[in-house]
Structure 1
Amino acid sequence: MSSQPVPILMYHAVAHAPAAATRELSVAPDSFAEQMEVLAAGGFTPVTTARLAASWRSGRPLPSRPVLITFDDGYEGVHGHALPALARHDFTATVFITTGWLRGAYDTGGALDTMLDWPQVKELAHAGLEIGGHSHTHPQLDQLSEDALRFELLRCREILADETGGAPHSFAYPYGYSDAAVRRLVRATGYGQALAVGNRLARRRQGPYALQRLTVRRTTGIEEFARCVEGSGVARTFAKDRALTKGYALVRRTRKLRRKAGLTRV
């Protein structure tokens, strides 16, 4: 069975003028189109999250240069700007939806920028993109009680099944945060695989519920992007991110333990 590492790219908004809260993690439409050109010229073949996980479980082969293109939250620019660039190359992707942030009947407020509406989500699915879950209200899942966590996972799953006609197979952790309890419940509620962040190439040994992704930002230059998808620039580009992630993981574990001990207010 192949242990070939795979770059999984994590995008958020694709917009000319993003809201301040999403600017760092947004990508300009022209930059996104140029990045897709790099993938096409490099002979990469995008696959969905579900296909990658199924291949690593079963041993079925992947294309010689697989890549995953993923979008978190469900910003409107995924339909307005990213979809045409993907279609130009016959590329697929996975869009992870925060169901309570989308425009429509389930809107709970809290969205950081203009979001997709449900007809647009259906158009993305019809175009061959995988629609995955990203919770209902985008909390830090590893800080929730079991009941609150179960609600976030099941409500998201139920809405996506109702709106798209099929329950989602894949999940992405909001903020990339998870722990063993979160991963167990993600699996128990019916998701077959889940993505973290990590800023490393994805490998089979990470397991289907902790596959790691590479963050694409507004400041990601085209040469840096090309090095990262080839695997040669990952360690240098994301060294600071990894250090911050490790430190904040310790802070979150401490907070959770203190809450369980009744030392802080939930």
Structure 2
Amino acid sequence: MPILMYHLIAEAKAGTPFPELWVPPARFREQVAALRGAGFTAITMAELWAAWHGDGRLPRHPVVLSFDDGDLSQVMNAAPVLKRIGWPGVLNLAVNHLNAKGLPRWGARRMLRQGWEIGSHTIDHADLTTLGADALRRELAGSRRQLKTRLGIDARFFCYPAGRNDATVRAAVKAAGYDAATTVDPGLAARGQDPYLLPRIRVEPQTTGARLVQLARGTVAAPASGGPA
């Protein structure tokens, strides 16, 4: 089961830090068209979870398109592409990105109306392995409360900032009420895996549509996720 990992859907300006996080809109359109042409259908994490637990069915070739952090480019450049073909995206939202400098609240609400799912990516995009118990609860349970208050959603799924987690963090994620969590570890997700260590496939600016189809099928190895997330 491929869970794709995106960040910004925009052209990276010269000198931009971490240009590997920026997928140009034209490239994104190419990737989505290639996935669709190869028979893939996008689903949400909730749909995946329901199918894995016997409460739903998956399309023949499912794929999750996840987008981290919260950025205007996601609603302006990614969402319209997916809307045209009736696909949902999954936004892993850091609550403090829900503002005019990141993703405006109207943008998050528009995405929800278009069928997107929003999960938690903490409040501050903190390295959770460095936090004490109180700060950890704030980032995990606190982000769920804030997403409920500000967007009216019950976030069931979590995404570790930069993939940073350990046994203490995973236990806290479970205690905060999340059903599952995604990492930056490369690979395909499967039902028998630890639900709090689900791998993803990093999508890069140079990833062609044909290459992404291979990655989603698992016929080539997913790239290592040694960069930022």
**TM-score bucket (shorter structure):** over 0.9
Letter in 1 for 2:151: T
Question: Which residue of the partner structure matches residue 263 of structure 1?
Answer: none
Question: Which residue of the partner structure matches residue 8 of structure 1?
Answer: 3
Q: Answer whether contact 2:47 2:56 (CA < 8 A) is retained.
A: no
State whether structure 2 residue 164 is matched by structure 1 residue 177.
yes
Q: Which has the larger radius of gyration?
A: 1
Looking at structure 2, the residues matched to 121 and 60 of structure 1 have their Cα atoms a distance apart, in angstroms, of: 26
Letter in 1 for 2:52: W
Question: Which residue of the partner structure matches residue 253 of structure 1?
Answer: none
- Worse overlay, 127-136 or 47-56: 47-56
Listed one character per residue, the Cα deviations across residues 91-149 of structure 1 (whole Å, up to 9, x for unaligned) are: 11110101112315xxxxxxxxx511111101111110001100011111122112111
TM-score in terms of structure 2 length: 0.92
Letter in 2 for 1:9: L
Letter in 1 for 2:68: D
The sequence identity of aligned pairs, in percent, is 35
TM-score in terms of structure 1 length: 0.80
Letter in 1 for 2:177: G
**1:105-116 pair list within 5 angstroms:** 114-116=101-103
Give the unaligned 5+ runs of structure 1: 1-5, 105-113, 246-266
Listed one character per residue, the Cα deviations across residues 144-187 of structure 1 (whole Å, up to 9, x for unaligned) are: 11211111112211111012212211111101121121111111
**1:157-236 pair list within 5 angstroms:** 157-234=144-221
Question: Which residue of the partner structure matches residue 79 of structure 1?
Answer: 75
**1:148-159 pair list within 5 angstroms:** 148-159=135-146
Q: Answer whether contact 2:129 2:164 (CA < 8 A) is retained.
A: yes
The aligned length equals 226
Q: Answer whether contact 2:6 2:68 (CA < 8 A) is retained.
A: yes
Question: Which is helix-richer, 1 or 2?
Answer: 1
Looking at structure 2, the residues matched to 200 and 207 of structure 1 have their Cα atoms a distance apart, in angstroms, of: 13
Letter in 2 for 1:228: L
Question: Which residue of the partner structure matches residue 141 of structure 1?
Answer: 128
State whether structure 2 residue 48 is matched by structure 1 residue 41.
no
Deviation at 1:223, TM superposition (A): 2.9
Give the unaligned 5+ runs of structure 2: none
Looking at structure 2, the residues matched to 101 and 92 of structure 1 have their Cα atoms a distance apart, in angstroms, of: 20
- Aligned counterpart in structure 1 of residue 116 of structure 2, from 121, 129, 146: 129
Residue aligned with 2:182, SS: strand
Residue aligned with 2:53, SS: helix
Looking at structure 1, the residues matched to 207 and 95 of structure 2 have their Cα atoms a distance apart, in angstroms, of: 28
- Aligned counterpart in structure 1 of residue 58 of structure 2, from 43, 55, 62: 62
Q: Answer whether contact 1:45 1:65 (CA < 8 A) is retained.
A: yes
Q: Answer whether contact 2:34 2:210 (CA < 8 A) is retained.
A: no
Looking at structure 1, the residues matched to 153 and 136 of structure 2 have their Cα atoms a distance apart, in angstroms, of: 22
Deviation at 1:229, TM superposition (A): 1.3
Looking at structure 2, the residues matched to 44 and 212 of structure 1 have their Cα atoms a distance apart, in angstroms, of: 19
Deviation at 1:59, TM superposition (A): 6.1
Looking at structure 2, the residues matched to 230 and 39 of structure 1 have their Cα atoms a distance apart, in angstroms, of: 10
Question: Which residue of the partner structure matches residue 261 of structure 1?
Answer: none
Q: Answer whether contact 1:50 1:193 (CA < 8 A) is retained.
A: no
